[in-house]
Structure 1
Amino acid sequence: MRIPLFIAILFVLSVPFPSSAHFFPNISSIPPNLLKPNATAWDAFNKLLGCHSGQTVDGLAKIKKYFHYFGYINNSSSNFTDDFDDTLESALKTYQLNFNLNTTGVLDASTIQHLIKPRCGNADVVNGTSTMNSGKPPAGSPTMHTVAHYSFFPGRPRWPANKRDLTYAFAPQNGLTDDIKIVFTHAFDRWSEVTPLTFTEIASYQSADIKIGFFSGDHNDGEPFDGPMGTLAHAFSPPAGHFHLDGEENWVIDGAPIVDGNFFSILSAVDLESVAVHEIGHLLGLGHSSVEDAIMYPTLGAGTRRVELRNDDILGVQELYGSNPNYTGPNPNLTPSQESDTNGAPKFGLSWVHGFLLVVGLFFAAFIEI
């Protein structure tokens, strides 16, 4: 049967186009012309250092836009002023509380240093409610888990009980080598070690539960990639299973430290496994944590490689799925919460998509421009 041309065109336009990604075995293998020095993002904030309520300083409007992007300012207007008003002070205090900073309401040095760290791109505050520290009930509250800091998406979406062996596949157009695929295998293994979930690679991209691909620019999910050192990756909450990475990044397969420091000190090099482990947490239903060494902590400081699950990550994912019978760590006998499983079409362009944003340098310049 022939398919009408306009239907075929619509189908093609609805399918993301994988890109040819840039992979390097290690930092030393990246051509020098692709490496950029670590940007001194701190310099752009010099005139904002110490800003407080009541002041008017050029650049504060960009700070407001940044907080609006991550949910701290619930305002549909994009016409932000340079006034340090009550709205900005409230947003700043919530941000400081979420990230375990002193809640001074002032743009002090420690806060600015934190603002320029690489971070995950989904909002910390959803519909006016923080999913991190400041959104938690007091310890001992009937609605509070005894361990404080992991979080879930609204409605606690998770994979249904009959889906414990999840399949994943890679976009065939990417032509990924075994060396690259094994990085994702290792990332999945970190989560299967502590849950009853297993992850099996299959050949069929269309039928896989989790679809992994490297894409460039607008790839029809409402969250276009923006080239090197902008949005690194994003993933959807369960059971959508979409996991997209920016093919224009310089992805490093072996993130072992070199010489005096880690490759993260080079602005344009990205550790593939660190991003993969974090985004798989989102694919399983985890939100962000306020525990600084947890995989699900929103920022990834310069000079770090974060791939090991911490207790907070483990407790969070086990609350959704229970424990792997062979796991001998904390609370091995947890069972999943008695919540309904959710159905799951991806909600493209909404808060269900989660991206890993590198805020240092180029990304933050788009907000600040000072």
Structure 2
Amino acid sequence: MRHHFVFFTLISVLFSLSQTSPSSAHFFPNISSIPPWIQKNINQTAGAWDAFNKYAGCRAGDKVDGLARVKKYFQNFGYITESPLNFTDAFDDMLESAIKTYQKNFNLEPTGQLDNKTIQQILRPRCGNPDIVNGTTTMNSGHPESHNTSLFHSVAHYSFFPGRPRWPSNRRTLSYAFLPDNQLTDNVKAVFGRAFSRWSTVTQLNFTQSESYRTADIRIAFASGDHGDGEPFDGVLGTLAHAFSPPSGFFHLDNDENWVIEGVTNPLTTMSAVDLESVAVHEIGHLLGLGHSSVEESIMFPTISSGTRKVELASDDIEGIQTLYGSNPNFNGTTSPSVQQRDTSGAYSSGSLWGMSLLLAVGFVHIILL
């Protein structure tokens, strides 16, 4: 999200979501529960960025009709800071620089060209939060783990939002609630409960479900298109969700996705199905103060391939969150909840989109709503 939002924008978020009609989100218990005719339709659905395939091979000096859309993509995720009224279709120095930074963040060869590997990474569904905030990226900076006293020092790639915002030390139990108009079932709500538990397992934080959306610390809502926060959703795939940094607590998911609530186990047959818990675990990381990581195995990696599942915190996630909140003395080395989950590999895509300029305003709104 951009960083020019103020008090009235936050009020707009609350008002816009309060006008939301009952949820039309597509929830499926599992892959086998999706009727064959629906599977066929969602497998043939074009993702929000599929048209970018035609730009494969573009390089500096080229001019291709529609290339301005690629520039807009990189602007949305922080790689281009300029805000011209109209981007041109020229492959200029600005786009080349953005691509090189993107490639470094995603562990690709920094060619500055839209080669096939870069295009395939761009096409993946992702978190709506930017990878670069206020012109600075720490996603792939790398820093030694401070507690590592062995001769071999591993490098961590977790990141934080500017100013390292976090929930205050006197708030170690946080409440969360769901937008009433979404009318979510208990099974859907339970997915979020499992996602929260993965973070509480490794920290001293606890999470409790509240029935009061207005007064909860964390507010979860499904919405479509423009929903009042300046970051509209884009339909099937594309951006899946976004979340705000502490202490705002807003967490929005795209109503138009095909959400699977009991786990994706067959990534080859239903390419447009999205595992809800995988997305929820990632976005909660943002709600707690983590930015994106360049470690592909980590929860905080920005993208996740559709039809895949990734819910286990990686060591990079754990090191990052414990830097903010300390370690749970009862942590036994695994973040799996009591219900056994079957995971499949996959990459993922959110932190606060609003940055430090929002912190005081968000806190003020939260106080008013209390």
- Assess same fold via TM > 0.5: yes
2:161 aligned to which of 153, 157, 171:
153
CA distance 1:91–1:25, change in 2 (3 Å): same
Contact 1:93 1:105 in 2 (8 A): yes
1:45 Cα deviation after fit: 4.9
Residue 192 of structure 2 aligns with an amino acid whose one-letter code is F
1:14 Cα deviation after fit: 5.8
1:103 Cα deviation after fit: 1.0
1:118 aligned to which of 125, 134, 154:
125
Map of 2:18 onto structure 1: 16
Residue 286 of structure 2 aligns with an amino acid whose one-letter code is H
1:280-307 superposed Cα distances (whole Å, 9 cap, x missing partner): 0011010000000110000112442111
**How many residues of Structure 1 are paired with residues of Structure 2 in the alignment?**
318
2:208 aligned to which of 193, 200, 213:
200
Map of 1:169 onto structure 2: 177
Map of 1:243 onto structure 2: 251
Residue 160 of structure 1 aligns with an amino acid whose one-letter code is P
Q: Which structure has the bigger radius of gyration? A: 1
Map of 1:319 onto structure 2: 323
Map of 2:368 onto structure 1: none
Map of 1:89 onto structure 2: 96
Residue 291 of structure 1 aligns with an amino acid whose one-letter code is V
1:138 Cα deviation after fit: 7.0
2:42 aligned to which of 33, 36, 42:
36
Map of 1:361 onto structure 2: none
Question: Following the alignment from structure 2 to structure 1, what is the Cα–Cα distance between the partners of residues 54 and 183?
Answer: 47
1:275 Cα deviation after fit: 1.0
CA distance 1:60–1:22, change in 2 (3 Å): closer
| Structure 1 residues 317-356: aligned runs within 5 Å | 317-329=321-333, 345-346=361-362
1:38 Cα deviation after fit: 4.8
Question: Following the alignment from structure 1 to structure 2, what is the Cα–Cα distance between the partners of residues 202 and 162?
Answer: 19
1:56 Cα deviation after fit: 2.5
Residue 78 of structure 1 aligns with an amino acid whose one-letter code is L
Instruction: List alignment gaps of at least 5 residues for structure 1.
Output: 1-9, 331-341, 348-370
Matched, 1:103 2:119: no
CA distance 1:156–1:140, change in 2 (3 Å): closer
Contact 1:236 1:346 in 2 (8 A): no
Residue 293 of structure 2 aligns with an amino acid whose one-letter code is S
1:132-186 superposed Cα distances (whole Å, 9 cap, x missing partner): 11xx377699xxx974310011111100001001111222333322211111111
- Secondary structure at 2:42 match in 1: coil
Matched, 1:299 2:303: yes
RMSD over aligned CA atoms reads 3.0
Contact 1:213 1:243 in 2 (8 A): yes
Map of 2:271 onto structure 1: 266
Map of 2:136 onto structure 1: 129
1:79 aligned to which of 75, 78, 86:
86
Contact 2:264 2:307 in 1 (8 A): no
Map of 1:283 onto structure 2: 287
- Secondary structure at 2:221 match in 1: strand
1:12 Cα deviation after fit: 8.8
Question: What TM-score do the two structures reach when normalised by structure 2?
Answer: 0.77
Question: Following the alignment from structure 2 to structure 1, what is the Cα–Cα distance between the partners of residues 86 and 212?
Answer: 47
Instruction: List alignment gaps of at least 5 residues for structure 2.
Output: 1-11, 147-152, 335-357, 364-370
Question: Following the alignment from structure 2 to structure 1, what is the Cα–Cα distance between the partners of residues 184 and 54?
Answer: 46
Matched, 1:212 2:251: no
Contact 1:255 1:262 in 2 (8 A): no
Question: What TM-score do the two structures reach when normalised by structure 1?
Answer: 0.77
Question: Following the alignment from structure 1 to structure 2, what is the Cα–Cα distance between the partners of residues 44 and 171?
Answer: 34
1:113-146 superposed Cα distances (whole Å, 9 cap, x missing partner): 111111112221222211311xx377699xxx97
1:204-254 superposed Cα distances (whole Å, 9 cap, x missing partner): 222221122223344333333444445432221111111122333322111
CA distance 1:314–1:54, change in 2 (3 Å): same
CA distance 1:12–1:318, change in 2 (3 Å): closer
1:66 Cα deviation after fit: 1.6
1:301-354 superposed Cα distances (whole Å, 9 cap, x missing partner): 244211110000000100000000111449xxxxxxxxxxx955439xxxxxxx
2:57 aligned to which of 36, 41, 50:
50
Residue 282 of structure 1 aligns with an amino acid whose one-letter code is H
Residue 176 of structure 2 aligns with an amino acid whose one-letter code is Y
CA distance 1:217–1:102, change in 2 (3 Å): closer
CA distance 1:43–1:250, change in 2 (3 Å): closer
Identity, % of aligned positions: 64
